[in-house]
Amino acid sequence: MVDGIRDVFLLSTTYHLPPTKMAGLFNLQIVTPEREIFNGPVEMVALPGSDGSFGVMRNHAPLIASLDAGQVTITDDQGQDMFMAIGGGFFQVSDNQAMVLADSAEDRAEIDVARAQEAEQRARARLAGQMGAEYELQRERAESALKRAQARLRVAAGR
């Protein structure tokens, strides 16, 4: 697939694909510790896996993956694309039930661009400042903050 999206459209041997032209739908739920931001039937979802982006369709083999900060693209049952920014998390799918556990998640319309820009600046400043082994933890946090901010900005800008 293009853009380095790895092909993980693995078909589970447990299921038989219905002989229809449509790929079919499966249920997707996106939740954060605070709320559920999506729950419904979708045709496909593309996710920012930490080992590379991947897409999931109906009858995907059971999978647990970790996610990086980035863009989630949902193709819903009407064939419409929706974009969300997530701040890293986890993904689980089995029996056509998919669940995204996101650290944070926002719809494109919800993203506060000014705040994300500010966060990006702050993270860059922090990364430029402290170095050395004792700052390892802070550096990791600043890096993930930077990734989150960039993911938000990318989604808000429509990539």
Partner 1 sequence: MASLRDIKRKIRVVKNISQITQAMKMVAAAKLRRVQERVQRGKPYAQTMAELVGTLAPNVRDFAHPLLDTRPVGAIGIVVIAADKGLSGSYNSNILRLAHQFVDRKTREVESSGREHLNGRQPVRIVTVGRKATDYFTKRGYPVVQNYPSLGAQTPYDQVRAASNMITGMFMTGQVDEVYICYTEFVTTMTQRPHSIKFLPIERPAETADSPVGANAAATGGTGRRDFIFEPAAPELLSRLLPRFVETRIYQLLLESAASQLGAQMTAMTNATKNAGDQIENLTLLANRTRQAGITKELLDIVGGAEALKG
Q: Which residues would be at the binding site for partner 1 (CB under 8 A)? A: 8, 10, 29, 31-36, 49-51, 54, 61-66, 89-90, 92, 94, 99, 101, 103-104, 137, 141
Work out the angle at residue 107's Cα, subtended by the Cα atoms of residues 100 and 113, and round it to the nearest 5 degrees.
125
| CB of 22 or CB of 139, closer to partner 1 | 139
**Hunting for tokens 């931001």 — which residue is that?**
37
Expressed in percent and rounded to 5, the helix, strand and coil fractions of the chain are 30, 40, 30
Least Å distance, CB 128 to partner 1, is 21
Least Å distance, CB 106 to partner 1, is 12
Nearest to 121 by CA among 109, 110, 113: 113
C-alpha span between 45 and 59 (Å, rounded) = 13
Nearest to 44 by CA among 61, 25, 30, 64: 25
| CB of 82 or CB of 90, closer to partner 1 | 90
Six-digit token string for 69:
């900060």
Least Å distance, CB 63 to partner 1, is 5
Single-letter code of the amino acid located at 137: L
| CB of 24 or CB of 90, closer to partner 1 | 90
Least Å distance, CB 50 to partner 1, is 7
C-alpha span between 49 and 101 (Å, rounded) = 12
| CB of 33 or CB of 158, closer to partner 1 | 33
Least Å distance, CB 79 to partner 1, is 27
Q: Which residues sit opposite 102 in a β-bridge?
A: 89
| CB of 10 or CB of 113, closer to partner 1 | 10
